[in-house]
Amino acid sequence: MGETEEVKLLGVWFSPYAIRPKIALRLKSVDYDYVEEDLFGSKSELLLKSNPVHKKVPVLIHNNKPILESLNIVEYIDETWNASDPSILPSHPHDRAQARFWSAFVDDKWFPALKAAAITKSEEAKEKGMKEVEGGLLQLEEAFVSISKGNPFFGGEAIGFMDICLGSFVGILKAREKLKGEKLLDESKIPFLCKWANEFLSDDTVKNVVPEIDKVVEFLGELEVRAQSAVSKT
Amino acid sequence: MGETEEVKLLGVWFSPYAIRPKIALRLKSVDYDYVEEDLFGSKSELLLKSNPVHKKVPVLIHNNKPILESLNIVEYIDETWNASDPSILPSHPHDRAQARFWSAFVDDKWFPALKAAAITKSEEAKEKGMKEVEGGLLQLEEAFVSISKGNPFFGGEAIGFMDICLGSFVGILKAREKLKGEKLLDESKIPFLCKWANEFLSDDTVKNVVPEIDKVVEFLGELEVRAQSAVSKT
């Protein structure tokens, strides 16, 4: 890292996707400037200029070059500060492929199902969606047992790529449990993932990066009020 | 590569996703057994066992270990046969991040829009969808100019990651043009991508891997007959 190294992260505190680069940068002990975007207001000039295609956070700006998409940013951080331990992706190609496969499962299948189930108005669709979400957690439990091989994390003894990916959603799961009594992290069904989730949240790298559950609960409540008020206006 | 090296690819000839590992394996001069899955019949035991989560091709099986998802397989091939030239992903982290970003754009946004526009029955939705597809091609044209820096490919002088990703759809675009007169590869709008598409198809690595346009035309016609006959049965 030269003296002229400039690292800037655009995020919003609540976004699971924005949490990911934060954890990765902390793992690699990289100093950076954090810029909080306005969640409900207009997007900053810098965000629109850096990510004209999707106009979304997170964006990492490294020496004036933007890097986009949360897991892509995590890979970039891993490759750029590759001399700094720990390595975020595993070293063996097959383990790397597994980490990327399950991360894609979380982002393309599991979380979209949770999101769809959370916002649908139809009780039937909600029930069907939540079954899919629970089924996905059972598959992830099985993957965890196979990949972690008795270690606390998907990444082994330390947090790795897949921990960052799935772990970024743990706060939301815990907050929804508190807010709605929705028990997705159910010890009777997915004991290993439940233990993993607690290990993850209490890990030194993660502790001050992931927002407090109560703050997320409050925010989810606020989101619901906004949604209801939007509906009542139509 | 030891004597016991076993490489097997499960695919279907028509699938753009299955074309990707074929090109990557050829770039790396890796010998492999190819197993063609039955497109309309039941899935093979080997496929169901290797990919129980998505039950989809392509699957690469390397020394009995399955690797899943087309671009994930391409990265695996690049990392596993890393001593064999050429390198598929660029070497600099920022260039790698760009290649991964634009590949995700193609797979998560551009092609799904084309697919949705192709199957919708509503003329209005089709028109709106095709506008999105054309807009995406303009963005990809701009990305190509910026990334290729005057070279014939996204990967520079040789085919790389993003060439494989977008190139796997060129056959379908050309076939749809022949079948429906739908001119997506329009030289007046995206001259650089049109030139790139022809360079791609005539590249030695690609030539015998991508199916012939006429065969794709015939197949797309057959798919439409099947779809119509399914509708008339309901």
Within 8 A of B80 by CB-CB distance, chain A residues are 93
* Mean pLDDT for all residues in chain A: 93
Question: DSSP characters for B83-113?
Answer: TSSSPSS-SSHHHHHHHHHHHHHIIIIIHHH
Tell me which residue in A68, A94, A100 faces B101 most closely, judged by beta carbons. A68
Contact B75, B89 (CB under 8 A): yes
Give the pLDDT of residue B3: 55
Within 8 A of A132 by CB-CB distance, chain B residues are none
pLDDT in tens, A105-137: 999 999 999 999 988 889 999 999 999 999 999
CB contact under 8 A, A65 and B139: no
CB contact under 8 A, A96 and B76: yes
Least CA distance to B143: which residue of chain A?
A: A53
Give the pLDDT of residue A3: 55
Within 8 A of B147 by CB-CB distance, chain A residues are none
Longest dimension (CA), chain A: 58
**pLDDT greater at residue B166 or residue B86:** B166
Model confidence at A225, pLDDT cuts 50, 70, 90, reads confident
pLDDT at A73 over 60: yes
pLDDT in tens, B145-154: 999 999 999 9
Within 8 A of B97 by CB-CB distance, chain A residues are 67-68, 72-73, 75-76
* Helical (H) or strand (E) element with B33: strand B33-36
Model confidence at A233, pLDDT cuts 50, 70, 90, reads low
Contact A209, A23 (CB under 8 A): yes
Model confidence at A84, pLDDT cuts 50, 70, 90, reads confident
Task: Identify the structural domains of chain B with CATH numbers, from first to last.
Answer: 7-80 (3.40.30.10), 93-216 (1.20.1050.10)
pLDDT in tens, B54-99: 999 999 999 999 999 999 999 999 999 988 778 999 999 999 999 9
Interface of A with B (CB under 8 A): 53, 62, 65, 67-69, 72-73, 75-76, 79-80, 93-94, 96-97, 100-101, 104-105, 108, 139
* Helical (H) or strand (E) element with A37: none
CB contact under 8 A, A94 and B76: yes
Residue with tokens 């595993």: A90
Tell me which residue in A69, A96, A139 faces B104 most closely, judged by beta carbons. A69
* Helical (H) or strand (E) element with A20: helix A16-27
CB contact under 8 A, B93 and A80: yes
Query: Taking CB atoms and an 8 Å cut-off, how many pairs form between chains A and B?
Result: 55
Give the pLDDT of residue B1: 47
Within 8 A of B62 by CB-CB distance, chain A residues are 94
Within 8 A of A147 by CB-CB distance, chain B residues are none
* Helical (H) or strand (E) element with B32: none
pLDDT at B233 over 70: no
> Hey, is A33 helix, strand or coil?
strand
CA B73 from centroid of its chain's CA atoms:
12
Mutate to test the interface with B, among A76, A109, A144, A147 (most CBs of B within 10 A): A76
Within 8 A of B68 by CB-CB distance, chain A residues are 97, 101
Cα–Cα dist A37/A51, whole Å: 13
What is the number of H-type helices and E-type strands within chain B? 11, 4
pLDDT at A1 over 50: no
pLDDT at A231 over 90: no
Report percent pLDDT > 70 for chain B: 97
Report percent pLDDT > 70 for chain A: 97
Least CA distance to A99: which residue of chain B?
A: B72
Give the pLDDT of residue A234: 56
- What average pLDDT does this structure show over B12-19? 95
Beta carbons within 10 angstroms of residue A171's beta carbon? 23
Cα–Cα dist A7/A59, whole Å: 11
